[in-house]
Amino acid sequence: MTGPRYPDLIESLPATVPFVGPEVQERQRGAPFRARLGANESCFGPSPFAVAAMQDEAAEIWKYADPTFFDLRAALAAHLNCTPANIVLGEGIDGLLGYIVRLLVAPGDAVVTSDGAYPTFNYHVSGFGGTLHKVPYRDDHEDLPTLLDKARETGAKLVYLSNPDNPMGTWLSGARIEAALDAIPEGTVLALDEAYAEFAPAEAIPGIAIDDPRVIRFRTFSKGYGMAGARIGYAYGADETIRAFDKIRNHFGMNRFAVAGALAALHDQTWLSEVIAQVNEAKARIAAIAADNGLNALPSATNFVTVDCGRDGDFARKVLTGLIERGVFVRMPFVAPQDRCIRISTGFPADLDVLAECLPEALRAAS
């Protein structure tokens, strides 16, 4: 009796996921976390109107969602000053990154990213047989000119850039990104991940023509809109590129709850403004806690703060382990020299009280 016959590519891949979820760690430690500050979720939650819209949709859940997502795309088009033909919906940015890789990358094709950037993108590239080429960060920022140089050197189909950046929280000015567009090699597409755009200063957002085929931009309802569990994101760009997603996307992959909630959330910009204000207060508190413990917080254009632990990655990992042992869920960059840091998501004042209590203990244990 035989089992499945996996292709050689699938046989060669590790059976892992890019992240270890807090629920897994809670089961391992046999207790819930006291403060959940690691996944860059928004503990402030979605707009009450979004919650109500999803509740109202419950009786209709026997229906598939409209596979064209007509109403939400129309609302997003008005929000972004483009047309619905410029927008595609997907299962969070993670799902959409999988789609863009599937759309553009054949086995052996070159893809360029930063060493230590968002690992889920790499997961998709490996899964479709692409060849990853990585360049280092420069001064805790993604190095766009070097990324494009590497794309030219390798003939890359796709270049990944997050702005603002995860895991460092830093950002490039929109003007720098605009100026770099003419350096994009012929036949290369820049995948611009703007998951944290709602938290960024206005000058971080580039003014790129919607019909520019060299760029496709990705945004989400997971962060600012507080709907990480709904798994709903969108990409926008030239209509010809967007139309090509219909060749490979899961047309019934979005659920009615998520679509209804996202539409209501988009219409409640007042709630989004209030969340951004709470995030800014929490970031200031995290920076103050870091300073009280002799640590340096990097400037952040996201809903998290990356804290430099002042030594090497081994020390930072000990600090992270100490926090987890004390019931504080945080994460850290994976690659040196950024792994000298830990990354702390914003939270309620009570969550940050727990951080203030536990961080000095974790630092003492790590020393």
Domain finish residue from 220, 246, 267: 267
Do 153 and 108 lie in a common domain? Answer: yes
Do 231 and 275 lie in a common domain? Answer: no
**Is the residue at 13 inside a domain?**
no
Domain finish residue from 239, 267, 295: 267
Query: How far apart are alpha carbons 32 and 199 in whole angstroms?
Result: 29
Position 157: which residue type?
K
**Is the residue at 1 inside a domain?**
no
**Is the residue at 2 inside a domain?**
no
**Is the residue at 163 inside a domain?**
yes
Q: How many domains does the chain have?
A: 2
**Is the residue at 15 inside a domain?**
no
Contacts of 132 (CB under 8 A, 6+ apart): 111, 112, 113, 122, 125, 126
Residue 208 CA from chain centroid, whole number = 20
Percent of the chain with pLDDT over 90: 97
Do 233 and 305 lie in a common domain? Answer: no
Residue ranges making up the domain that contains 215: 48-267
Mean pLDDT for back-to-back runs of 10 residues, the chain (367 residues): 90 84 93 97 98 96 96 98 98 98 98 97 96 98 98 98 98 98 96 98 97 98 98 98 97 94 98 98 98 98 98 98 98 97 98 98 97
Q: What is the pLDDT of residues 315-325, one digit of tens each?
A: 999 999 999 99
| Inter-CA distances, 95 with 9, 92, 252, 295, Å | 20, 5, 13, 36
Do 295 and 188 lie in a common domain? Answer: no
Question: pTM, whole model, 2 decimals?
Answer: 0.96
Do 199 and 326 lie in a common domain? Answer: no
Q: Where are the alpha helices (DSSP H) in 203-268?
A: 239-244, 256-266
**Is the residue at 189 inside a domain?**
yes
**Is the residue at 255 inside a domain?**
yes
**Is the residue at 96 inside a domain?**
yes
Nearest CA among 39, 142, 131 for reference residue 94: 39
Q: What is the pLDDT of residues 59-100, one digit of tens each?
A: 999 999 999 999 999 999 999 999 999 999 999 999 999 999
Q: What is the pLDDT of residues 186-217, one digit of tens each?
A: 999 999 999 999 999 999 999 999 999 999 99
Nearest CA among 60, 52, 65, 155 for reference residue 106: 155
| Inter-CA distances, 203 with 53, 139, 222, 238, Å | 33, 19, 22, 23
Cis peptide before 164 (omega within 30 of 0): yes
Q: How far apart, in Å, do the first and last CA atoms of the chain sit? A: 56
